[in-house]
């Protein structure tokens, strides 16, 4: 008997495609499936915590692992559900992949509130007729180009490609050329008069979504916009999952960089089609993003961001050649990344401050961008403080029983009318789950009618007053049913469970404690706030009243709360069209004082106090 013989190979068939792959027993499911299908979305980075990578084994379900037994219900296990990130294949199997593709029609915010600034882009073009050489003018080609374009003949680096291109372009275009400048530097020349074709692209690289804006640098007008889910979400929803991925995979950093750059190139392709221009007409990209995202974009190792004392590799603004990172714009194009403030307060926060002008405000303004990390800025023109707090992905639908992103079918608005729950869904589809804004609304409603105690407990139906009979009927198995099985798209009831409420409390507690910490540093009370600015997608879609009722933000009058949409992206656009705004962005990054919450002695107490729903200390109503 040959004991070293290879074990016989087995076959995995996946539906809906019907594709097959062979494998050796003992191989992880994800390893096998990736050769024939895109592996499921893995919000927790494959740690077996979120339960969102469920797949359905129609045949050959392997024995559940201890993690699967802990995360999945008995019914799910019996039906053949397993976690793609945990399950190990041991025999022939037939699997239905859940719909893990990026949802079509997902709500991605690409617009924001901004302000008008004088047009003064870093990249400019200048047309010129160059004197031809003659026996009386023996200057070099480069000297005559520099002189006519007003470029200093001394010093500075030159791009070798630029030098090489000069003789051909001059003669091909009969000495009529256009110079392309980045600030004072001549980066390239083009044949003929191309001065009317000068474009730039601004990007906001979020952990969850990417937004791109194509701008005509001659007019400052936006001529294209496109957005997409950040494809890095395939390996995890939050920055820690991405950092872990880099640490755990040999090519992890390269892979994540290539995922984001490929998506940026797709966005560029969409935008140039909208504007009917060529990618070569784009000469610069200004990018904002959180510190981890900008590190990953440049292929810079972000792992120290996850290790105390959480130091980034770079925090200043950086300009690199677009070709160096694979961004397909003009060959001489550059990518300028706005500065970071700290490891967890990135260039996106600088962009938000720039676009919303908090740094110029005389009175105290609070700005909050709620994502998997909540970035919080508080202060005025005299002093601005910033911090970052780990809110987790609850408001993005992860770790919530029926949670989902704001894709078609997500319950996004909830209210009480005639004694019962009413809701709307994204795209008016039949409900398939609940997204962050719907979750917050539902909690605010249930707090108001007394079905959720301010401490977070869902009341037993026997404790609910008789005048709420309809709402009371929705209390089933300790959860609150928003949509019945008959009403919902998948034939299962969509409910909020006690565990969901606890997840929201953790997220809400982290945000509120971060805000309170900055308020204590600045010695301001709720009544001192002149405005509360909500940035980002969640801040845009959530109902202000619900955010206040749940105690997510201070209980200021609703009129003081304003949503500024994707202000980070608007900040990137400002820096694209105005060198002055770019300079101000540098100043903002230096001016803002970063407060590290993990070492703040009072933060944990404030966090514990902030877990309860309700009003704020220091407010008129507290
Ligand atoms: S449980 Fe598998 S990715 Fe979260």
**Residues 215 and 328 grouped into a single domain:** yes
**Residues 527 and 385 grouped into a single domain:** yes
Q: How far is the CA of 51 from the centre of ligand 1 (A)?
A: 5
Q: How far is the CA of 68 from the centre of ligand 1 (A)?
A: 10
CB-based contacts of 204: which residues, under 8 Å, 6+ apart? 210, 211, 287, 288, 289, 348, 351, 566, 568, 569, 572
Q: What pLDDT is stored for residue 606 in this prediction?
A: 94
Pocket test for ligand 1, best of 30, 48, 245 (most atoms within 8 A of CB): 48
Q: How far is the CA of 87 from the centre of ligand 1 (A)?
A: 11
Alpha carbon 506 to chain centroid, angstroms? 20
Peptide bond into 170 cis (omega under 30): no
**Residues 248 and 266 grouped into a single domain:** yes
467 burial type by CB count under 10 A (0-12 exposed, 13-18 middle, 19+ buried): exposed
Ligand 1 within 6 A of 236 CB? no
Residue 16 sits in a domain of what CATH number?
3.10.20.30
Residue 344 lies in a domain: no
Residue 380 lies in a domain: yes
Residue nearest to atom 1 of ligand 1 (CA): 48
Residue 327 sits in a domain of what CATH number?
3.30.420.480
Of 60, 82, 97, the domain-final residue: 97
**Residues 127 and 238 grouped into a single domain:** no
Residue in this structure with the two tokens 């201890």, named with its chain if needed = 66
Read off the DSSP letter of residue 468: G
Q: What pLDDT is stored for residue 621 in this prediction?
A: 44
Residue 435 lies in a domain: yes
Residue 159 sits in a domain of what CATH number?
3.10.20.880
**Residues 208 and 307 grouped into a single domain:** yes
- Which is the closest atom of ligand 1 to the Cα of 71? 1
Q: What pLDDT is stored for residue 350 in this prediction?
A: 97
- Which is the closest atom of ligand 1 to the Cα of 236? 3
Q: How far is the CA of 229 from the centre of ligand 1 (A)?
A: 18
Residue 345 lies in a domain: no
**How many C-beta neighbours within 10 Å does residue 497 have?**
16
Domain that holds residue 44: 10-97
**Residues 227 and 130 grouped into a single domain:** no
**Residues 561 and 492 grouped into a single domain:** no
How many helices (H) and strands (E) are present in the chain, helices listed first? 18, 28
Cα–Cα nearest to 443, from 330, 542, 578, 299: 542
Residue 373 lies in a domain: yes
What is the domain count for the chain?
5
Ligand 1 within 6 A of 48 CB? yes
Cα–Cα nearest to 353, from 81, 558, 574: 574
Pocket test for ligand 1, best of 85, 87, 100, 399 (most atoms within 8 A of CB): 85
Q: What pLDDT is stored for residue 537 in this prediction?
A: 80
Give per-10-residue mean pLDDT for the chain (622 aa).
59 79 90 84 78 82 88 75 90 73 49 72 95 94 93 75 93 96 93 96 93 94 92 88 94 97 97 96 97 97 92 95 97 96 93 94 94 90 94 81 88 92 92 93 94 92 83 90 91 91 94 96 95 88 92 94 91 95 96 93 94 73 43
**Residues 299 and 206 grouped into a single domain:** yes
Q: How far is the CA of 266 from the centre of ligand 1 (A)?
A: 28
Q: What pLDDT is stored for residue 603 in this prediction?
A: 95
Read off the DSSP letter of residue 531: E
Residue 283 lies in a domain: yes
**Residues 278 and 363 grouped into a single domain:** no
**Residues 519 and 378 grouped into a single domain:** yes
Residue 618 lies in a domain: no
State how far the Cα of 343 lies from the Cα of 360, in Å rounded to an integer: 24
**Residues 527 and 381 grouped into a single domain:** yes
CB 351 within 8 A of CB 585: yes
Cα dihedral: 242, 243, 246, 248 (round 10) = -100
Residue 3 lies in a domain: no
**Residues 298 and 234 grouped into a single domain:** yes
């Amino acid at each position: 008997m040959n004991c070293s013989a290879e074990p016989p190979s087995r076959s995995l068939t996946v539906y809906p495609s019907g594709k097959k792959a062979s494998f050796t027993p003992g191989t992880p499911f994800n390893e096998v499936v990736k050769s024939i299908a895109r592996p499921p979305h893995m919000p927790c980075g494959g740690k077996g915590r979120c339960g969102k990578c469920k797949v359905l084994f129609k045949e050959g379900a392997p024995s559940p692992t201890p993690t699967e037994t802990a995360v999945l219900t008995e019914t799910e296990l019996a039906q053949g559900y397993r976690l793609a990130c945990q399950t190990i294949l041991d025999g022939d199997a037939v699997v239905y992949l859940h719909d893990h593709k990026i949802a079509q029609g997902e709500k991605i915010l690409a617009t924001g509130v901004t302000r008008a600034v004088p047009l003064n882009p870093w990249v400019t073009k200048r047309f010129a007729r160059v004197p031809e050489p003659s026996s009386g003018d023996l200057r070099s080609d480069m000297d005559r180009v520099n002189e006519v374009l007003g470029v200093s003949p001394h010093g500075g680096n030159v791009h070798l490609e630029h030098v090489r291109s000069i003789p051909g372009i001059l003669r091909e275009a009969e000495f009529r050329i256009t110079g392309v400048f980045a600030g004072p530097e001549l980066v390239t020349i083009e044949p003929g008069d191309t001065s009317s074709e000068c474009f730039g692209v601004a990007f906001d690289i979020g952990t969850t979504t990417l937004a791109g804006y194509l701008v005509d640098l001659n007019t400052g007008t936006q001529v294209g916009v496109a957005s997409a889910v950040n494809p890095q979400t395939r390996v995890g929803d939050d920055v820690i999952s991405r950092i872990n991925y880099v640490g755990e995979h040999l090519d992890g950093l390269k892979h994540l960089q290539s995922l984001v750059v490929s998506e940026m190139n797709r966005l560029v392709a969409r935008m140039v089609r909208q504007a009917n221009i060529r990618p070569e007409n784009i000469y610069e990209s200004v990018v904002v993003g959180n510190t981890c995202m900008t590190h990953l974009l440049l292929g810079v190792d972000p792992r120290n961001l996850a290790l105390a004392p959480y130091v980034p590799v770079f925090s200043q603004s950086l300009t690199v050649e677009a070709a160096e990172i694979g961004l397909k714009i003009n060959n001489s194009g550059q990518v300028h990344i706005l500065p970071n403030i700290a490891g967890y307060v990135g260039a996106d926060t600088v962009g938000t401050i720039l676009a919303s002008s908090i740094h110029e405000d005389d009175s105290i303004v609070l700005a909050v961008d709620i994502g998997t990390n909540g970035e919080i800025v508080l202060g005025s023109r005299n002093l601005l403080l910033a911090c970052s707090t780990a809110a987790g992905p609850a408001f993005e639908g992860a770790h919530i029983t029926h949670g989902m992103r704001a894709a078609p079918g997500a319950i996004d608005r909830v209210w009480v009318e005639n004694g019962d729950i009413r809701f709307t869904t994204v795209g008016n589809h039949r409900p398939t789950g609940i997204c962050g804004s719907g979750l917050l609304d539902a909690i605010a409603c249930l707090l108001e009618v007394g079905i959720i105690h301010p401490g977070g407990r869902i009341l037993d139906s026997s404790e609910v007053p008789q005048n709420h009979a309809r709402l009371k009927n929705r209390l089933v198995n300790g959860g609150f049913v928003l949509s019945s099985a008959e009403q919902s798209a998948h034939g299962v009831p969509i409910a909020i469970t006690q565990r969901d409420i606890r997840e929201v409390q953790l997220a809400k507690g982290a945000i509120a404690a971060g805000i309170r910490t900055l308020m204590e540093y600045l010695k301001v009370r709720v009544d001192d706030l002149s405005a509360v600015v909500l940035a980002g997608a969640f801040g845009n879609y959530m109902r202000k009243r619900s955010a206040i009722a749940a105690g997510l933000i201070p209980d200021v009058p609703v009129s003081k709360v304003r949503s500024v949409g994707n202000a980070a992206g608007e900040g990137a656009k400002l820096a694209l069209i105005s060198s002055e705004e770019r300079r101000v962005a540098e100043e903002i990054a230096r001016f803002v004082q970063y407060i590290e919450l993990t070492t703040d002695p009072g933060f944990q107490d404030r966090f514990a106090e902030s877990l309860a729903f309700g009003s704020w200390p220091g407010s008129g109503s507290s």
